[in-house]
């Protein structure tokens, strides 16, 4: 288990929380080398938020391209919310995340839930 790899489980669809907590912490955790790797898991209502909110999309692209933050998402949520194409276009890797999340929790991996 890589204890220097932070996963941020992002389920809160509030845009301010997305910008000033999720995006900000992911960015500064990489800038300040608090973590070796940071992966943001887009799940539930945030699938719709990120597929529609251009400001958050721009921030996400910056984090991906400049800071190496990885964005992944729940394929089931994306299908339910008709956002598969948009998230794929944004570079979000879509998978069934239930097994991955379970493994993270069971192994005690660093997981921040927002």
User: For residue range 14-45, what is the model confidence (pLDDT) as tens digits?
Assistant: 999 999 999 999 999 999 999 999 999 999 99
Q: 3-class SS at 9?
A: strand
Nearest-5° Cα angle at 95, 3 to 63: 60
d(CA 102, CA 95): 14
Specify burial of residue 10 (Cβ count, 10 A radius: 0-12, 13-18, 19+).
buried
Determine the CATH number of domain 5-19+37-113.
3.40.1260.10
Q: Report the predicted TM-score, pTM, of the whole model to 2 decimal places.
A: 0.96
pLDDT band, very low/low/confident/very high, at 3 (cuts 50, 70, 90): confident
């Amino acid at each position: 288990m890589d204890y220097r790899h932070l996963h941020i489980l992002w389920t809160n669809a509030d845009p301010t929380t997305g910008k000033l907590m999720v995006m900000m912490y992911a960015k500064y955790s990489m800038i300040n080398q608090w973590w070796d790797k940071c992966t943001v898991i887009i799940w539930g209502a945030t699938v719709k938020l990120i597929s529609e909110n251009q400001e958050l999309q721009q921030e996400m692209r910056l984090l991906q391209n400049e800071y190496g933050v990885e964005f992944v998402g729940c394929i089931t949520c994306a299908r339910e919310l008709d956002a598969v194409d948009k998230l794929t276009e944004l570079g979000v890797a879509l998978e069934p995340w239930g097994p991955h999340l379970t493994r993270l929790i069971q192994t005690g991996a660093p997981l921040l839930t927002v």
